[in-house]
Every structure is written in structure tokens, then in C-alpha cells.
Amino acid sequence: MYDPLTSRYTFSCPHRGEAQVALSDFRTLERLDGAAHPAVYRVRFACSCGGEHDGLVGHDDLDWAPLGLEGGVFLNLMTSRVEPVADELGGLAALRIRAGEWPWSFFCYPEERPRPVFPSAFFLLAPGEGRLGVAVHCPACERTSVNLVTPEHVDVPFHNDREIGVVEHVFSGDVQAAVEEFRAELSSSAFDARRLDLS
């Protein structure tokens, strides 16, 4: 389903039979109820035929396969042998993660900080003028943030844009959580201590 050497997913296309699409060609991702190990996601993707189609992708293919952990084989021109790539790509990914790099990241607006994330946290991708708007469910605070990034920021693991755009907006589903959090802070002793510091 995913080819780590081309960074493309293979889906069915009703017009061409098969479509090779990048993660940045996804438009929506929705986790389906039911299966948990692995979870299954319904994706809507922009196809090279000009239409948008639905497909299914497992959690492993969505989050882990782009790291090359289930890579295929390649022809090593130095040895003239067909060799697996999983060990080499998986080793590189593990080395970078140990060094503190994360394959994908986004900026959480409610928390005002960058966060590591997997593609399964994306739920909406919208292209426009060379940029890609990515709506993400933050795995830490469970709120929604929208970042404006290049397609490479999404398609290529460990590629982080030098600058990203952040939509400064608290979404309606997050407003209630923010109100409850503020109410709890008003009732806490920490708020009283902060109020004393301000006087």
C-alpha cells in the first residue's frame, strides 16, 4: 500500500484502476469505529484523474510505513544484488528519533508550542498557492490547530519547514474545554497567588 522509496500510497481509482498519491494529496482522514489493532482510517484523496476518491488505510501504513520500517527491496548497483531497505531506513529513523528529531511536527496554537505528531492526527488537508493547510488534533491537549506548511513538510518524514504559518483561532469544539479550564483556574489557589503578584 505504501512505498517508502517513492513516498506514495497506492489506492484504487475508478477511472485509471490505480492511483499513486502522496500524503499531501489526502483531503480528509477519519478513524473508523470498530477495528483497533490496527485502526483503520477512511481517507479522501485528490487523484491524478482529476477527481477525489475514498480509500482505506491501516494505522501501520499511515504512521509507520513512511519511516521505512516495512520497506521493500532495491537493486544495489554496487553489489548487483537485490537488498531489503527496511533495516537501513528503520535504523536511520530510530537514530534521528533518539537524537530528538521527530518525523512530523506541528505548532499547537492553544498550547503555544511545537508538538510531535503522526499523520493519524491529521483530519483535514487543504492545498492552496503552494502551501497546505493541515488541521491537526493535538495528541497532548486534544484541541485543534491549523498550520500552513509546504507539501514536503507532510510528505517527507523528518523534513521540517523553516517557517510555518499558524492560524490563530480557537475552534468551537475547543471553546468549552477552554472555558472549563479557565473556571478551574479561577477557583484554584494558583490564581490567587498570581493575583497577589500583580498588585
Q: How far is CA 13 from the centre of its chain?
A: 23
Q: What is the model's pLDDT at position 147?
A: 93
Comparing 24 with 72, the larger pLDDT belongs to 24
What's the CA gap between 64 and 50, in Å, rounded? 28
Q: What number of other Cβ atoms are within 10 A of residue 191's Cβ?
A: 13
Average pLDDT over residues 169-186: 63
C-alpha span between 123 and 27 (Å, rounded): 8
C-alpha cell at 99: 537524537
Closest CA to 41 of 57, 25, 26, 54: 57
pLDDT at site 191: 47
33 pLDDT exceeds 80? Answer: yes
Look at residue 199 and tell me whether its pLDDT is greater than 50.
no
The mean-pLDDT minimum among 15-19, 68-72, 114-118, 140-144 falls in 68-72
The CB-side HSE value for 157 (13 A sphere, CA atoms) comes to: 26
pLDDT for res 195: 46
Instruction: Give percent of the chain with pLDDT exceeding 90.
Output: 43
For range 65-85, the mean pLDDT: 81
Residue 149 amino acid letter: V
Mean of the pLDDT values across residues 184-193? 57
* DSSP 8-class letter at 65: G
Q: What share of the chain is helix, strand, coil (3-state, %, to 5)?
A: 30, 40, 30
Q: How far apart are CA 43 and CA 124, in angstroms?
A: 10
Q: For the chain, give every domain's residue range.
A: 2-168
Three-state DSSP state, 1: coil
Please state, as a whole number, how many other Cβ atoms lie within 10 Å of the Cβ of residue 130.
7
pLDDT at 197 over 60: no
Residue 51 has pLDDT above 60, yes or no: yes
Please name which of 148, 127, 124 lies closest in space to residue 136, comparing C-alpha atoms: 124
Predicted pLDDT at 128: 85
Look at residue 10 and give its three-state secondary structure. strand
- The dihedral built from the CA positions of residue 6, 151, 68 and 57, taken in this order, carries a sign that is negative
Q: Dump pLDDT digits (tens) for 99-138.
A: 888 899 999 998 999 999 999 999 999 998 889 999 999 9
Ranking 3-7, 21-25, 95-99, 174-178 by mean pLDDT, the lowest is 174-178
